[in-house]
Structure 1
């Protein structure tokens, strides 16, 4: 299975709605495929223009390291040298914090990732998980 544009748009829609329902700041959401390529992106109304790069960094890091943003943050705290080296290897494109979420199909295969930014990292994660689950896929944040 692969992530479709329709899946990506629905993930984005539900993620932003989940954020609005919890009175979060405007969320920006990117969905990438298993190679880290952007399928879809939407910046929340009123969100700063730089949110694309942060959202993409969260999603890209999840794909390239094979772990969600929470695990990346924990790894950075335990082994900062590794995350710094990995970020160097990926030309500074990793944003290792919650809100980077691996997307798995129902068999457990990684088929993409979602990056959410705009509120606290934990809130970004919760909203993104809602979006992923809404299309019947498994979120690993």
Structure 2
């Protein structure tokens, strides 16, 4: 079974932060989790505000746990808010269905993990996650 390597996780972060810098976004935090939701790598840019780690990890944790991007989860939460409030409570607040995380998939479509970002708007966070995944030669989902 393929797994996400530390080298790939670090490349995802480097690619995400390069995209953020090129786009002129605020300082970011980027968390990469493996397919079991365990932290593989994290970086917080100089000047990034508080909670960047917790928010980035919560977005990615929800994505990998539910098998969908955090954007899709946010949409689902609008249709079934009680379920998603229950998920957040059950997970001790670790589950965060807000735009800014995507799944990391290999060429065969196997989920290897998820990456989440925090520091900009949800759209900015999501864009740098996608750029990071693609910079590692993987697919974002």
Q: TM-score, normalised by structure 1?
A: 0.96
Match of 2:40 in 1: 39
Aligned positions of 1:62-141 closer than 5 A: 62-140=63-141
Q: Number of aligned pairs?
A: 140
Describe the superposition over 1:57-95 as per-residue Cα deviations: whole angstroms up to 9, x where unpaired. Answer: 011001111111101110111110111111122111011
Question: What is the RMSD of the two structures over their aligned residues, measured on CA atoms?
Answer: 0.9
Question: Any gaps of 5 or more consecutive residues in structure 2?
Answer: none
Is residue 10 from structure 1 mapped to residue 11 from structure 2 by the alignment? yes
Describe the superposition over 1:90-122 as per-residue Cα deviations: whole angstroms up to 9, x where unpaired. Answer: 111011111111111111111100011100000
Question: Any gaps of 5 or more consecutive residues in structure 1?
Answer: none
Deviates most, 91-100 or 26-35: 91-100
- Aligned equivalents of 1:45, 1:135: Cα separation in 2: 23
Matched position secondary structure for 2:61: helix
Match of 2:29 in 1: 28
